[in-house]
Amino acid sequence: MAGRLGRVGPYALLERLGRGGMGEVYLAVGRRGERVAVKMLRDPIENDPDARLRLEREVRALRRVESPYVAQVLDADLSGDRPYLVMEYIEGENLLDAVRRGGPLPESRLIELAQGLAAALAIIHSGGVVHRDVKPANVLLGEDGPVLIDFGIAQVLDATRLTLTGTFLGTPGYCAPEVFSDETVGEPADVHGWAATVAFAATGRPTFGRGTAQSQMYAVLNGKADLVGVPAALLPLVRAALHRDPARRPTAALLADRLSRLARVAGESSRAPGEPSVPEPTTRAAADAPARTAAKPVAGSAARPRRARAATALAAAPRGAPEGALGIPTGNAALVLVALLAVPCVVASVVYPLATFAITAALAVVIRAVWTSHWLVRSRKPGRARACLRALAFPLTLAGSALSAAAWPGLPAAAAGFAALWVGSGVRLEPEWWSRPVPVTIAGVAFGVVSGAIIGREIERAGAAIPGLRREGLRALAVLGGFVALCAAAVRAVAFFF
C-alpha cells in the first residue's frame, strides 16, 4: 500500500497529524494494515545530535514505562538519516483543542481528568521518568481516560541532563519555576505542570497568562497563577502543586489518592447514564500542535483491555458513588475499628488462648462474606435496591464463606498452627495440649499470620474486580487476627519476665 506522503521504513504515511518542537507526527499503516502514529525529526534539526539523543531518550522512557496512560511504543529506527518512532494510534482530541472547542470541563469530568492524569504521572515517576512537558496539548482524551504523550524531552532520572544553562525545553506557561532558574528539575516539575494543566481545563484560560514567553516566565517565577474559576474541591490541591518550592509540592501518587476520593463522590451523582467521562473524541484534531500522536488501536489488539484493567485496578476511581462494604469503614475509621476490636480480643486471647483461633477464623469468614456479597450484586446499578439485595444475601454468603474458609485458608493456617504448637511443646504433643498457654499462643500467632496473609491477597484480587469495594477496612480486619495473637504473646512474655 503506497502512502500519499511516501514511506518510512515499512510504514506508509497517510496524513500529518501534528507538528511539535522536535518533529512531526504522521498517521501511517504498517505491512499488516495496522494504523500507527509515526513521529520523525523535522528537517531543520535532522543532523542535530542533541535532537537525536532526545528522540532516543523518548524511546527509552516510553519503553521503560508500562502504563495504560502512555501511548505504547511499537517500533523505532534511530540510526537512519531520518530517525523515527512508531507508537500505537489512539483516536482522541487533545485537551487543548477540547477546551478551546467546548469551554471548561464540568466539575465532575474535571476531577476525573485530574485524577487520571495524576495517576499517569505517578506511574511514570515510579519508572524513574520525568516527562518535563506536561501541558494540555500533550494530554489526549481517549475513550478510556487521559493518555499522556510526547516524551521528546523526557528526563530519565539515571541519565545525563540535556538542558544547558540559560536554555530550557518546554512550554513557558506550563514549566515549573526551577526550569527557568536552572535548579534541579525532577518529579515536582511534572506536578507543577499537572496543576497548570488542570487549572486550564477548569477555567479555559492559560494559567499564567497569554502574554509573551518572558511575561509567562515572570508569572511562573512569581507565582502569579490565574485560578479564578477552579472548583473549590480542587483548588487546595492545585495551589499546593503550584508551590514555588518543589519540595513542598505533593507527589503525583498523593494527588491521585486524594482525587480518587473526590471522583467517587462526584462521579455518578453528576453524570447521566451512558455519558462519557471526557468530551467525545473527534475524528480530526488541529495540526498546529503535537496533538494526536495516536488513535484507536487496531481491532483485536490488547491495548484497550490493558487500559480498561488498569483504570479499574490501578488508579482510576470507580464511576459510581462508593457503597460501603456492609458498613466497613476506611482510612482512619478503619484504624479506630481495629483499636476498638483489638482490646477485647487481646483480653480474651490472654485469658483463653484458644480464643485466638476462633477470632482469626471468624474474621476470615466475615471478610470473605463481605466481598462475596459485593460480587453477587456487582452488575446492578448502585442504590438502595442493591444494598438491600446484598444485605438479604449476606446470611447465605456468610454460611458459604464459613464452609469455604474451612478449606482455605483453614487448612494451611491450621497446618502452620499445628507445626508451631508441636515445636513450642518441645517436639511432642501432650494429651492436654490446649491447657498449655505458651505453646497455644505460639500456634495462634502462626495461625493468624498465615490466615491474614492469604485473606489479604484475596482482598486485593477481589478489589481489582469489584469497583466500590472498600479494601482499607477489610485489610485492617485481615491483619487483626495475627495482631491479636502477637499482642497476647507479648503480654505473656512480659508476665513471664516480671
- Which residue numbers are catalytic? 133
- The answer to whether the Cα torsion of 53, 55, 58, 63 is positive or negative is negative
Q: Is residue 114 within 8 Å of residue 164, measured between CB atoms?
A: no
Name the residue among 72, 66, 81, 83 with its Cα closest to residue 34.
72
How do 35-41 and 84-88 pair as beta strands? antiparallel
Q: How far, in Å, CA of 173 to CA of 184, rounded?
A: 19
